[in-house]
Amino acid sequence: MQKMTVEAKVAQLLMFGFPGTTVSPFLKSFILEHGLGGVIHFARNIENPRHLAQLNGELQSLAQQSANGIGLFIGADQEGGTVARLTQGVAVPPSAMALGAVDDEAVTESICAVSGLELAATGTNMVFAPVVDVNSNPFNPVIGVRSFGEQAPRVAKHGAAAVGGYQRYVAAVAKHFPGHGDTELDSHLSLPVVHHGRKRLEEVEFLPFKEAIAQKVLGIMTAHVVFPAIEPTPGLPATLSYRVLTELLRKEFGFEGLIITDCMEMAAIADTFGTVEAAVMAVEAGADLILISQT
C-alpha cells in the first residue's frame, strides 16, 4: 500500500458497472492502467454460469496484470425473488418476504448458503444482500417483497441468518443503511426523507443492521435517504453524511467492515449533488467503495 500512487489508491475506492457481456474497452483500460476496487454485474452482463465464470476469470486476470496486482471485488444484486441477476442454471432463491413468511431461520440460512455457493462457483465474491430494511410503509415503491417483513425483530433475525448463509462462500452486504423501508419515494428517481425521531429509528430501522453487524457482515450499503434526526444538514442523504457513516455506523455501532454506497448515478444523488462531487463527499463521510453502476 505504501508504494501505491494516490491515483491507484483512489481507483481502489471505485466499483464500476459496464454494458454488455464482454469486458468493455474502457473497463479493460481502467483496470490495467489504474487498478480498480471492484466490478458489479447486472443481468445485461450475464448469459449463464459458465459465461459468468469465464468473464470473472478475465476480469481478475486483468487485475493481476495491473500495476498494483490487487484482485477485484466482483458483486451482484442476487437477492432472490424479483431481484436476481443470475437466473439461468442456478437455484434462484425466493424473495426475502417469502422467507420471512416461512419464518424459519434455518431455511433462510440454508437457501442463502446455496445462493452464495453458486455465486462463488462463478468467481463472484460479493453479494449485495440481504436487504434488511423493515418494510413498514405499505406505499414503499422500491423495497416491498425485497424485505423480510414489516416487523423489525423478524427482519433482524432473518437478515442475520442470511448473512450467516451467504458468508460461508461470499462477502454479504446488508442494505440500505440506516433504513429504506419507511419511504414513499424511490431513491432511483428522487431523494426520500425519513422524518422519524431517534427513538423510533433505534426500535425499528437500526435493529436489523445491529444484528447483521453482530453476525460479522462484511459489508453495509448506504441509503440515498435523508434522516434529519441524525444529520441536521437539510437535504444531505445518509450516503454523504459523516454523522451517519462515521459517527453512527463506525463509532457508535462499531462496524469494522466495508461501507459501500448505493449507485451514485441514482437520481437521489445525480440530480442533487451530482455523481462526481458526491463521490468525493461519500469518501469524506466514511465510505470505502463508491458504486457507479451504469455509465
Give the pLDDT confidence of 79-93 residue by residue, as tens digits. 999 999 999 999 999
Residue 219 is inside which H or E element, if any? strand 219-222
Cα 132 from Cα 96, distance rounded (Å): 9
Cα 78 from Cα 57, distance rounded (Å): 19
Cα 66 from Cα 120, distance rounded (Å): 23
Question: Of 262, 243, 100, nearest to 173 (Cα)?
Answer: 262
SS3 289: strand
pTM score: 0.96
pLDDT at 227: 97
Q: 47-78: per-residue pLDDT in tens?
A: 999 999 999 999 999 999 998 999 999 999 99
Q: 11-41: per-residue pLDDT in tens?
A: 999 999 999 999 999 999 999 999 999 999 9
What average pLDDT does this structure show over 162-186?
95
Question: Of 247, 240, 248, nearest to 264 (Cα)?
Answer: 240
pLDDT at 235: 96
pLDDT at 44: 97
> Which phi and psi angles does 6 have, rounded to 5°?
-60, -40
Please identify every residue annotated as catalytic. 188, 262
User: Per-residue pLDDT for 184 more than 90?
Assistant: no
Banded model confidence at residue 295, pLDDT cuts 50, 70, 90: confident
Cα 229 from Cα 237, distance rounded (Å): 12
Give per-residue burial for 168-199: e unless 16+ CB within 10 Å, then b. Answer: ebbbbbbbbbbbbbbbebbbeeebbebebeee
pLDDT at 186: 82
